[in-house]
């Protein structure tokens, strides 16, 4: 199956050792495309979590004082190993997560790019010298690593969401405990295996596999040595973690749910807008937090846009992710499929028109046909809830003020998209939208050099870019007197 079979790991990684659960329990990892068993991994609990915290805390004392050039060298080596094993890592991802192999390979390159970017940032955690108001004093600002970081990552991007958190943390001198999704632990373990090969010291990077996320999370939240939580996932769980972090006043970064508007003005290049919609909607079968969730199209061009997007949508190839020509793979599980079915059925019952798709695919299991529905209204659940599936939902608007108000009428604020050729709108509309990221005339906005994150109930903090390192640094003021 894999060129390097050692990348398929079936134990957790704590303090440089591949370990079983203290309880001896294990859980199965299956392929969402066909339900086949891939392997089983340890089902860790609180005792195992405590061991990882102790390992990371002990390793931090030396890692924080390791020269930035050494940390950068290890990160660059990790990057080289990830790129060298791209095909195997992508195959593992597709097998456990389902996304098309082309997308999986792109994600591995994307994940590696974060490691490379933050390797360069390791030596750039500059402090400052502030002019003092007293001639016999000097004021310095130092930036120092936060400490032990718990990185809790989702199943939809099982490699990139790890490196986007772990690489900046390691670069500035933090140690990390990764808790991957129970659906996709194999990608995390494979990355840990390559980090081990790269030469990171024991305890600097640890991976906890578990089905009992609540008890493991409680241990991470309660322990005073864990100084930072970085979480990507649902808003509901993010709120629980934020409450749990309060008792020990941990630093928190949260990248949560979204309800992205995709706004098409009448002056837009419609072909570019359709291409952008396909990129922003159907990647990973619509299972991304920045997916276009509401397509708000001006009434003058709505029908032409819908016809063009329907044609593109109906031609998307559905199939197992391992097939090279697959465009849309399976959803992650039956619950995800049932949610998509329910949202489409609800919209149809309230008058929306299903133009293509709208049913389970002939493959069965968790495959759903790429779908486009029009005539959607804001009060429909398909407009207010995050779809997380391959469904485009189109509604119309009449003017700029209306669409901005409707786009902002949500508790979420992660990503938004705007298509227009009016130079005034290019500035006005993104500035008026209450979102952390806005794509103008593009459906692709993620990049290691750009800050990623949301506002309102879509999160706190930013990942990627030069701002990403600040999430893992404390600022210390040193005042020297008697000079």
How far apart are the two ends of the chain, measured CA to CA in Å? Answer: 67
Q: What span, in angstroms and rounded, lies between the C-alpha atoms of 227 and 245?
A: 9
CA nearest to 144, candidates 176, 177, 175, 172: 172
Q: Order of strands across the sheet with 473-480?
A: 128-130, 138-145, 473-480
Please name which of 281, 231, 275, 274 lies closest in space to residue 260, comparing C-alpha atoms: 281
Q: Are 56 and 203 in contact (CB under 8 A)?
A: yes
Q: Which member of 103, 174, 289, 369 is catalytic?
A: 289
Give rounded-to-5 percent helix, strand, coil for the chain: 40, 25, 35
* Catalytic residue (choose from 107, 196, 255, 463): 255
CB 15 within 8 A of CB 184: no
Our measurement of the distance from residue 338's CA atom to the centroid of its chain's CA atoms, rounded to an integer in Å, reads: 23
The pair of structure tokens assigned to 374 is 């029009």
Contact criterion met (CB below 8 Å) for 272 and 419: yes
Residue 14 to residue 11: CA distance in whole angstroms: 10
Does the annotation count 289 as an active-site position?
Answer: yes
Q: What are phi and psi of 152, to 5 degrees?
A: -110, 115
d(CA 71, CA 165) in angstroms, rounded, equals: 15
Asked whether 331 and 337 are in contact (CB, 8 A), the reply is yes
- 335 CB neighbour count, 10 Å cutoff: 9
* Sequence-separated (6 or more) residues with CB below 8 Å from residue 219: 46, 49, 50, 53
54 is known as an active-site residue: no
- Using CA atoms of 222, 227, 232, 233 in order, give the dihedral in degrees to the nearest 10: 10
**Catalytic site residues?**
255, 289
């Amino acid at each position: 199956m894999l060129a390097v079979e050692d990348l398929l790991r079936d134990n957790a990684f704590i303090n440089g050792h591949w370990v079983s659960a203290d309880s001896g329990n294990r859980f199965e990892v299956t392929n969402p495309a066909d339900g086949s068993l891939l392997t089983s991994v340890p089902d860790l609990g609180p005792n195992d979590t405590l061991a990882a915290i102790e390992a990371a805390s002990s390793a931090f004392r030396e890692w924080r004082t390791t020269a930035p050039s050494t940390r950068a060298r290890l990160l660059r080596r990790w990057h080289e190993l990830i790129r060298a094993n791209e095909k195997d890592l992508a195959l593992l991802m597709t097998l456990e997560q389902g996304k098309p192999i082309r997308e999986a390979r792109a994600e591995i390159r994307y994940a590696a790019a974060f490691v490379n970017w933050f390797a360069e940032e390791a030596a750039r955690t500059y402090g400052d010298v502030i002019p003092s108001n007293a001639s016999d004093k000097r004021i310095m600002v130092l930036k120092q690593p936060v400490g032990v970081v718990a990185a809790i990552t989702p199943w939809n991007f099982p490699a990139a969401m790890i490196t986007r958190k772990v690489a900046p943390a390691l670069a500035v001198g933090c140690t990390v405990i990764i808790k991957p999704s129970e659906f996709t632990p194999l990608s995390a373990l494979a990355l840990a295996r390559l980090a081990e090969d790269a030469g990171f010291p024991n305890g600097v990077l640890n991976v906890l596999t578990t089905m009992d996320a609540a008890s493991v999370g409680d241990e991470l939240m309660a322990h005073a040595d864990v100084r930072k939580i970085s979480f990507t996932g649902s808003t509901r769980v993010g709120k629980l973690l934020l409450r749990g972090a309060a008792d020990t006043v941990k630093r928190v970064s949260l990248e949560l749910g979204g309800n992205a508007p995709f706004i098409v003005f009448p002056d837009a290049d419609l072909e570019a807008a359709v291409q952008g919609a396909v990129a922003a909607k159907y990647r990973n079968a619509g299972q991304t937090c920045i997916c276009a969730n509401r397509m708000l199209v001006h009434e003058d061009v709505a029908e032409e846009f819908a016809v063009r997007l329907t044609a593109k949508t109906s031609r998307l190839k559905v199939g197992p992710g391992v097939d090279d020509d697959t465009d849309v793979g399976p959803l992650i599980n039956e619950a995800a499929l049932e949610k998509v079915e329910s949202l489409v059925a609800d919209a149809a019952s309230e008058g929306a028109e299903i133009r293509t798709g709208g049913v389970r695919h002939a493959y069965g299991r968790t495959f759903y046909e790429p779908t486009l529905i029009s005539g959607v209204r804001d009060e429909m659940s398909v407009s207010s809830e995050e779809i997380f599936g391959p469904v485009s939902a189109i509604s119309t608007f009449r003017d700029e003020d209306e669409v901005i108000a409707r786009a902002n009428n949500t508790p979420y604020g992660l990503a938004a998209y705007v298509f227009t050729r009016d130079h005034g709108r290019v500035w006005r509309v993104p500035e008026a939208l209450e979102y952390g990221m806005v794509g103008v005339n593009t459906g692709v906005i993620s990049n290691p050099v750009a800050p990623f994150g949301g506002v309102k109930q879509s999160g706190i903090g930013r990942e990627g870019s030069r701002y990403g390192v600040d999430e893992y640094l404390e600022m210390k003021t040193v005042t020297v007197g008697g000079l």
